[in-house]
Amino acid sequence: MIKVAIIEDEKNEQEHIKQLLNSNGGGYHYLLSFFDNGNQFFFDFQYGLFDLILMDIDLKDRENGIQISMRLREIDPDVCLVFITNLAQYAIQGYRVNAFDYIVKPINEYDFNQRIASISKMIEERKKEKILISNDGAKVAIAIKDIYYVEVANHSLIYHTSKGDFKTYGSLKEVVKDFKDRNFSLCNSCFLVNLEYVERIQGFSVFVKGHELLISHPKKKSFLESLNIFLGK
């Protein structure tokens, strides 16, 4: 299921996009949410809420699609953003907000289906590189590449990431199992480290993005071996 937000203030265009997505081939299924303007969209928006955002540029609100997208990128720099607009001359501005593509109105059904199928495939591949956790009552998608290290403390898991810290419940043993084929290694029984962010080793300490973590005596040999293999790659 691919979660799609459509920011479009013309009801007939909303219906047209809905029909195109519901009839799109390729075996993809879409959960659609429609918004008339930026205020509606940002009411409960958070990082990872949507997989794909289809944005009209020419909105009859105080904010156009480019302005909304600039606010969007402050919250979620990763979500796939596609402009659907009759203002083709302004679509180039989409690169300022890291837009993936743009589709010109009136929408050509064949072209739309081809592009959406290709984008959907990319999104599904991306989703394999993310994990979904419960944090403060909300579901949060975290890109594995953004995780510095995972800590277990008082029966809770804390994901220390480039987006901040996220606390949830679970077992570090299960996280180790899930990250088995990735570049993570235990430096002790409380910390699972992303080897990509190791800055230096000093005695029985490893420094990960400015954080000093203890390397236990039983784990030091295997941790250093994992780090050497990673660096060798």
Q: What is the pLDDT along the chain (233 residues), one digit of tens a residue?
A: 899 999 999 999 999 999 999 887 667 899 999 999 999 999 989 888 899 999 998 888 889 899 999 999 999 988 999 998 887 666 677 778 888 988 888 999 999 999 999 999 999 888 778 888 887 777 787 888 899 999 998 889 999 999 899 999 888 998 998 888 889 999 999 999 999 999 999 999 999 999 999 999 999 999 999 999 999 87
Residue entry with tokens 């050497």? 228
Provide the number of structural domains found in the chain: 2
Print the domain residue range for 194.
Answer: 131-232
Whether residue 121 sits in one domain with residue 32 = yes
Amino acid at 151: E
Q: Which CATH number is 172's domain given?
A: 2.40.50.1020
List Cβ neighbours of 136 (8 Å cut-off, separation of 6 or more): 167
Whether residue 75 sits in one domain with residue 104 = yes
How many helices (H) and strands (E) would you count in the chain?
6, 15
Q: Angle at which helices 109-127 and 11-23 pack, to 10 degrees?
A: 70
Could you say which of 97, 128, 159 is where a domain stops?
Answer: 128
Q: How many CB atoms lie within 10 A of CB 207?
A: 14
